[in-house]
Structure 1
């Protein structure tokens, strides 16, 4: 059975449209012109290279757009200026795993989508894209920020400066070696900060270099699969200076003998202030139950 290469004619009253895993290469002008009631559109895992201006005309109530795993890029001039302008109700954009050039932020394609609450996007830091931080900083209503393809070595205070609603940040599998000390300074200045989860796994961090006292609501920090060998005294002090609030660390130390463990980890072992991740399926269930119990209490 052959896969669809074009958008079919559709009834105007549908709310959800799933065209995932087809062979669609091009979105034409007014493809969805009559779908005023559509709330969610999934075009992931197609062959999309280009979208004509007006491709999303008519989607005035669309809340979620999924474009991940396509071939959208600067090379194909995939995004005409104002391509997302009709999407006045869009709160969730998933466009990750398209292009290593991080086009959406670099060319200010998403900066006017100020109503976005969730963004999943490719990130690139290159001479062709020097102001990527500013592109994201305009998305002031974001609650969740997730990277796809990622080539990003460090980030500073501009990236999340204006994100007053931010709760979840996942910038894993990048090349981040430094998180500047004032990267989350804007969160501390908020009257009601909300950031609870930061995932920086699979990077090349050697230490926690940012001040965690600026993150009073943080509950989970995932630093697994980095180059961390020990926590500096300053880093630990910033953890303890958070008003006595609890924080969950996920730390993976593979094939390390007890004699080689950092002193901080040995102290946690002695106090039994840790939960060990198991190697079997039943233990895995128990582990996450313990995590849930710890967070609740």
Structure 2
């Protein structure tokens, strides 16, 4: 009976009340205090009065503003960025933005504009970026030309425009980007180009217009940063039309849904009559490619032949000594030697990614590329039992190597001896068979970034990462550790320069408190998607200023003694953990509210317990864990009963003592 009373008393004494204060109101999200706000998709028909006058950046897309006037934004005089995408705007009246003198970027994308007053843009004296994409525009005369002297980019894609001729007096002196993609432009005249004569180093985008004719001499003596004719089927029209022009980058690629015809070598004759440094020809179909195909490519620095159905590049190609970057991705090579690399002796960047056939590396296929700095051989189904010294012979200046998403590779000790200058090595999703209890990377003394994610590594090999004194970024995502534990002695301990460590999806359940003791330079640790509990946080006690990702683990209660470790970190992510929102976790919940500036993904950091609060954001929970009125009553009763019991006990003891004298 006494035991039952005591239990009842304790329950009453330590009972706690809890409540969730959650708001269902749709309000703008403050992204930067008093400056940046996101009000997207809230069904608003006016600017909320809660936005401060100091607002500088406003994302207001997917709301309802059929008509905007000079009073709509008049209060927000400090605006520099305004996004009004899909706000169902039909009318823009006079002097609408007269108060926004500092407006830099205005986005009116996907609004069915019917009317825009001549003086609509009179206010912003420094407007640089203007977006009229998908507004139903059919004529450039619709655009108010006043007060656009600072304009740097004009985006007019996905409309019904048939001519690129800009309105008279349209200021182009500072214009750097002019985007006409996916319109109805099929003819370019001298008059069209004359309207752009004051623009220098302009990037002109005509992608998706299928140009069928260019007036001879239209581009004569013009200089462009880039020209994009993507989707144009007749390349002969383009090359003839661009005679005597200068273009830094020329994009002539086509698309999957376009029925492309095969192109012959004669199409490229026009290249000899123009100056161009970079050409993209992706997804075209070459017919009978030969060494003569490239005789007008001598001035090129970059050439992109992605998905051009190539099975082999011809030998004997001459004159491509200026070529620095070559992209041969998504083709049909059987062997790396079929690219005849000797034709491109000055290459610094080579991409053969996503080859449609299983690619054999061959032996010494890249011997002549001694200047190569970057090599991408990812997604090529490459498989070899002895990688990679024979295959990468003479690439002593290589700095970046990507062999990710391939078939199993066998790595012996010093597997990359031929590439001692490597700074980045990506082997993600390629099963690695390390053939000895040594490090295959031990000669890579300059390596800074190593991606070993999902490589099925033997992490019990204590020497796996030896010889990497400069390593700063290590990705071990998806590799498992014995028994789901990172012990005190592990292959990571030697990486004293490590700054970023990725250990997500490693099925970890525990980390020894001394596991990272030697890693004192770390500033980013990703331990997400494991089975870790709060006890593993102790392994980070010696680190400060971390971006710490603990999302999707098994953390429920974080004891008070671990909170100082969290307090010394810069950013913490605890989303999708089974967090306890009862008084058992009250110290952490108090810490959480006081440190929300450190917390990432607040919206997804939810309670899992008790059931009443399951799914409620931690930020909306208020606990009251002090003694309740009922508890105070029972405490008084308990003290009174204890006092009475003590008095009777003393009397009983004294009586017993005298009776036995």
- Give the TM-score range, shorter chain: 0.7 to 0.9
Structure 1: runs of 5+ lacking an equivalent: 188-192, 285-297
Correspondence 1:91 to 2:348 = yes
Alpha-carbon offset, residue 61 of structure 1: 0.6
Indicate how the Cα distance of structure 1 residues 212 and 206 shifts in structure 2: closer, same or farther if over 3 A, else same: closer
1:134 to 390, 402, 405: 390
Tell me, in whole angstroms, the C-alpha distance in 2 between the residues paired with 1:148 and 1:4: 33
Alpha-carbon offset, residue 154 of structure 1: 3.0
Tell me, in whole angstroms, the C-alpha distance in 1 between the residues paired with 2:334 and 2:381: 12
Alpha-carbon offset, residue 37 of structure 1: 1.2
Q: Secondary structure at the match of 1:17?
A: strand
Q: Secondary structure at the match of 1:212?
A: coil
Tell me, in whole angstroms, the C-alpha distance in 2 between the residues paired with 1:222 and 1:62: 33
Alpha-carbon offset, residue 18 of structure 1: 0.2
Indicate how the Cα distance of structure 1 residues 50 and 245 shifts in structure 2: closer, same or farther if over 3 A, else same: closer
Alignment correspondent of 2:486: 231
Higher Rg: 2
Q: Aligned-pair RMSD on alpha carbons?
A: 3.2
Alpha-carbon offset, residue 231 of structure 1: 3.5
Structure 2: runs of 5+ lacking an equivalent: 1-257, 516-531, 552-572, 577-598, 602-661
Kindly provide the CA deviation profile for residues 208-239 of structure 1, in whole angstroms up to 9, marking residues without a partner as x.
63353411110011011223333355425xx4
> Do 1:200 and 1:222's aligned partners in 2 also have CA atoms closer than 8 Å?
yes
Kindly provide the CA deviation profile for residues 149-207 of structure 1, in whole angstroms up to 9, marking residues without a partner as x.
512343123431132321000011112143752312223xxxxx321000011221141
> Do 2:301 and 2:325's aligned partners in 1 also have CA atoms closer than 8 Å?
yes
Alpha-carbon offset, residue 40 of structure 1: 0.3
Indicate how the Cα distance of structure 1 residues 100 and 23 shifts in structure 2: closer, same or farther if over 3 A, else same: closer
Tell me, in whole angstroms, the C-alpha distance in 2 between the residues paired with 1:143 and 1:247: 20
2:282 to 13, 17, 20: 20
Kindly provide the CA deviation profile for residues 113-149 of structure 1, in whole angstroms up to 9, marking residues without a partner as x.
121110011463347xx67531214311100000155
Tell me, in whole angstroms, the C-alpha distance in 1 between the residues paired with 2:488 and 2:288: 55
Alignment correspondent of 2:328: 67
TM-score, length basis structure 1: 0.75
Indicate how the Cα distance of structure 1 residues 166 and 78 shifts in structure 2: closer, same or farther if over 3 A, else same: closer
Indicate how the Cα distance of structure 1 residues 63 and 27 shifts in structure 2: closer, same or farther if over 3 A, else same: same
Tell me, in whole angstroms, the C-alpha distance in 1 between the residues paired with 2:407 and 2:455: 10
Tell me, in whole angstroms, the C-alpha distance in 1 between the residues paired with 2:451 and 2:285: 33
Alignment correspondent of 1:261: 510
Alpha-carbon offset, residue 88 of structure 1: 1.7
Q: Secondary structure at the match of 2:425?
A: strand
Alignment correspondent of 1:198: 450
**Which protein has greater RCO, CA pairs closer than 8 Å, 6+ apart?**
1
Tell me, in whole angstroms, the C-alpha distance in 2 between the residues paired with 1:255 and 1:212: 20
> Do 1:96 and 1:147's aligned partners in 2 also have CA atoms closer than 8 Å?
no
Correspondence 1:29 to 2:291 = yes
Correspondence 1:120 to 2:376 = yes
Indicate how the Cα distance of structure 1 residues 153 and 35 shifts in structure 2: closer, same or farther if over 3 A, else same: closer
Tell me, in whole angstroms, the C-alpha distance in 1 between the residues paired with 2:288 and 2:407: 27
